[in-house]
Amino acid sequence: MGLAAISAYPGSGAAGLWYLCRMDWKTQARKARSLLKEVPHGGREAVLRTEGFPGGVNTVRRWAFALKYLELLKREAPAVHGSVSDAPFSSVETLARWASLDWEAALRGAEELTAGKKTRADLLKSLASAKQSAKKPTGESLATGYRARLKDSVPELVRNIVGGMITDASVNYREDHDPPVDFKLLRVDPDGKTSSVIVLVVGPYQNGEIYRKRVHDWVFRALAFAWVHGCVVMLLPDPSQVDLYRRHVDSLLSRGVLRKRSRKRVPPKTPGKRRSKASNAGLTIHVAPVPGF
């Protein structure tokens, strides 16, 4: 998520800064997140203005980013969460930005902040240092590194989702002229029947808005692989996007998109050979979060 500079608080001067720092931003962030859940990107400013949110989308994004960090901190480090949650918004936001680069270092910084050993100025220095040292890759290199780290966890993740006995994952699998997939696994059911399971890792994206913008691309890609292989698992590095992707998958399958298209495009087979009939009942697409992201 693209964060604005700290100075980009609603309004201008001391009044705007007071509003950003003193109000119950966590409550406002939750309210805004609920309001904007189904609102298209271009209509969010108007909704926020109608509901009385000064500062607009940019300020709400900053709140949402900091709130997401607190929610993750509550799950991963509950002992630290309580104290950090009571810290000023500016400190929480700085910790969130630092954690996106180096979670462990930011966690230590959070502990030192709540113990009185660090100030926000110290956090900003650490954040600047993390930016310089991490040089976090973007685009294709980020995606490649993430998938490499995820490889050993994929068989267990898939086993928990689809059941059966799962083989080790083949990375960046490619067959014939098909586009490559992130992982291909074989599933053996209790009757000994084998079937392939394709795993697509969505993203990961540093800007959370990209998950929403590219949902149609990813879902149609999953549908295409489900048509060939039968079962697809879509893994979302950002758990907050799971419901959105599930709704799109369910919507397309319920409308019978593949069934209608197959009847138009699949040519008849040679007489005497029975052509298999496309049916959404034979397609399985699971959407699940990546635990611990």
Residue 5 burial (C-beta neighbours within 10 Å; 0-12, 13-18, 19+): exposed
Task: For residue 284, give the nearest of 234, 210, 211 by alpha carbon.
Answer: 234
Distance between CA atoms of residues 104 and 172, nearest Å: 29
The answer to whether 84 and 110 have CB atoms below 8 angstroms apart is yes
Q: Record the tokens describing residue 96, joined without a space.
A: 């969130």
The whole-number pLDDT of residue 14 equals: 43
The whole-number pLDDT of residue 117 equals: 92
The whole-number pLDDT of residue 23 equals: 54
Q: Over its length of 293 residues, how does the chain's per-residue pLDDT go in tens digits?
A: 323 333 333 333 444 444 444 458 888 778 777 777 666 656 666 767 666 666 666 777 788 888 889 988 998 889 999 899 999 999 999 999 898 888 888 999 999 999 999 999 999 999 888 887 655 555 555 667 778 788 888 888 888 888 888 877 665 555 555 567 888 888 887 777 888 899 999 988 877 888 988 999 899 888 888 888 888 999 998 888 999 999 999 887 776 644 444 444 444 444 443 333 334 556 789 999 887 54
Distance between CA atoms of residues 100 and 106, nearest Å: 9
Residue 273 burial (C-beta neighbours within 10 Å; 0-12, 13-18, 19+): exposed
For 129, the enclosing helix (H) or strand (E) is helix 120-134
The whole-number pLDDT of residue 273 equals: 38
The model's pTM: 0.46
The whole-number pLDDT of residue 234 equals: 93
The whole-number pLDDT of residue 265 equals: 47
